[in-house]
Structure 1
């Protein structure tokens, strides 16, 4: 009889416990002891890589649970291989983020055949600042203007089709009448810079912020001539914008789509389906990082201006690019895919 009462009482206790609400795991509990992998789709030493590593160095302390953030380079197809991997292969739990190519939304909008991801479903965290894209030529060429580029063949270095180092000079050829010969196969911007020094190539696309961060001596000593810029105009750069040089209104609209990534800067995103509380924590951590005195000191030492684009407005920029009318997208397709 006593055993029956004990069994009955234990049953009631278990039934009561089963009826209690399950305590959800907090963001801090989830991230504590974990590693966040920050994937970088290009080689070591360029602006994408430097900015990713700068963020990785500081963001972990602002994420609840203080996970370790580890940058990893995954080179191929101008970063598209990394984006495909991030979207299709890794866990969608907030432990993987990626430094995305800022041209990826436009590449998706034109139907790029290598794109196996949806930037509209990626969840964007932010970037350090918008960028000004430039085309620069090595000083020994004697080229100092777009008009000079119309008169001679100039060899430009690039990583591969689909990367802005490739489609920026080909865009200038098509819309401005320049004569770039594009040589591909370099893993990243740092390797293209080395090729310029060796005389293998004579020109390359790069952002103005990257020139100042990675090759400040080149800028100071005028070893490169910036002949064109795109996106928000740089106040300390005297070069015409490719948008303004467009010969027709339709050409200008096409160019604006091609360089639309300038608004995104060097953007970081995570996968779809990350729980809302973790996504909010990651976005809050990015905001906190952008105001962190230690981060700002490191950014200044690297010559990076900090003028953040945060996740929510970035999501809207991506959506706008993805809504590009089809006829316009088709005009830009040959450059972006």
Structure 2
């Protein structure tokens, strides 16, 4: 037997042993003593960060083996930096998952060359809340309502082409003739709000009502911002006087564009694990996520922080992704054109 053949045979045998060992290891045995990194595609202080840190503090006790769950921020390109990393480089053993932009899974559909992944291959874990995204303007901007938004230029912050602030502003400019100019490059939604407070920009879209309530409700209560419209299939019970984007136009193409955005809102703030994670560990993470959503201690902490909890399962999210990927090509082409 040649040395090369011997080494090849030994490698195969070792691979079988390792494979059998891994197969025999239970989920509890694997996670016992481990650390799971929960990555967040945005900077500290925004809605994605607030929810993820709350979940990280409670989910570990629901995962077999009770691993430590540590939140880590990896902002960039409207969370595409994190999404690509989870697909291409993250450990595929169940020790890493992340919170990404709700629109990120649809970037390959929109021919974004920076989106180096196949959304269908991710393992969707769940989300904590259905979102109601708003466009808002500083009170001193002169934009008080939708009619003002159509007649007055409004400088709005952006966090990257894949992010809600950018997508929603571009869609509204096309669909209803609003006059928003995007100032891009902010690492997260919280950074846009700080820029609004400094006067660098005058407003933003993609601002979740749950985030406003949890972190910046004083701006609303003090009359410092005007809530202009909301992206949702139906109004939030607390926002009945804020118009729906879908009600602002009867044009078929314009409504199709807005509907695309509304569909992504159903994703909430999705949590995903890399492709290739063993199925039993994916199921353990999904079950742990679901159990966390009904954990009395978690719910008490979420309520105290002003966080709305209206969860969806990982399978629900995968169904939404499959549905959105059936969008008519003409609508997708228009969306692509708007982003150029």
Give TM-score scaled by structure 2 length.
0.90
Match of 1:15 in 2: none
For 1:143-292, what aligned pairs fall within 5 Å after superposition? 143-205=143-205, 206-232=207-233, 233-237=235-239, 238-292=241-295
Structure 1 counterpart SS, 2:36: strand
Residues 29 and 115 (structure 1), Cα distance of their counterparts in 2 relative to 1, 3 Å cut: same
* CA offset digits 1:182-204 (Å, max 9, x no partner): 11121111111111111111111
Q: In the aligned structure 2, how far is the partner of 1:107 from the partner of 1:119?
A: 9
Q: Matches of 2:142 and 2:221 in 1, distance apart?
A: 17
Q: Distance in 1 between matches of 2:338 and 2:307?
A: 28
Report if aligned partners of 1:257, 1:332 keep a CA contact under 8 Å in 2: no
**More divergent stretch after superposition (158-167 vs 33-42):** 158-167
Count of residues in correspondence between the two structures: 318
Does the alignment pair 1:332 with 2:316?
no
Q: SS in structure 2 opposite 1:28? A: helix
Structure 1 residue runs without a partner (length 5+): 1-17
Cα displacement (A) at 1:105: 2.7
CA distance in 1, matches of 2:164, 2:72: 21
Shift of 1:42: 0.9
Residue by residue over 1:218-242, the C-alpha shift from the partner in whole angstroms, topping out at 9 and shown as x without a partner, is: 1222211111101142111121111
* Other-structure match for 2:73: 73
3-state SS of 1:150 partner: helix
Cα 1:185–1:294 shift into 2, 3 Å: same
How many angstroms does 1:217 deviate by? 0.9
The answer as to whether partners of 1:156 and 1:181 remain within 8 angstroms in 2 is yes
**Could you tell me which residue of structure 1 aligns to residue 311 of structure 2?**
308
2:324 — aligned with what? Answer: 321
Q: Would you say the 8 A contact 1:258–1:332 is kept in 2?
A: no
Q: Which stretches in structure 2 are left out of the alignment for 5+ residues?
A: 1-16
1:9: which partner in 2? none
Partner of 1:92: 92
Q: Which has the larger Rg?
A: 1
Partners of 1:187 and 1:168 in 2: CA distance: 17
CA contact (8 A) 2:132 2:208 kept: yes
Is the 1:106–1:258 Cα contact (8 Å) retained in structure 2?
no
Give the conservation status (yes or no) of the 8 Å contact 1:36–1:67.
yes
**Matched residue of 1:120: which SS?**
helix
The answer to whether the 8 Å contact 1:109/1:324 transfers is no
Question: Which residue of 1 is the match for residue 14 of structure 2?
Answer: none
Give SS of 1:204's match.
strand
Deviation at 1:335, TM superposition (A): 4.3
CA distance in 2, matches of 1:54, 1:172: 33
Query: What is the alpha-carbon distance in structure 2 between the residues aligned to residue 87 and residue 321 of structure 1?
Result: 20
Does the 8 A contact of 2:231 with 2:261 survive in 1? no
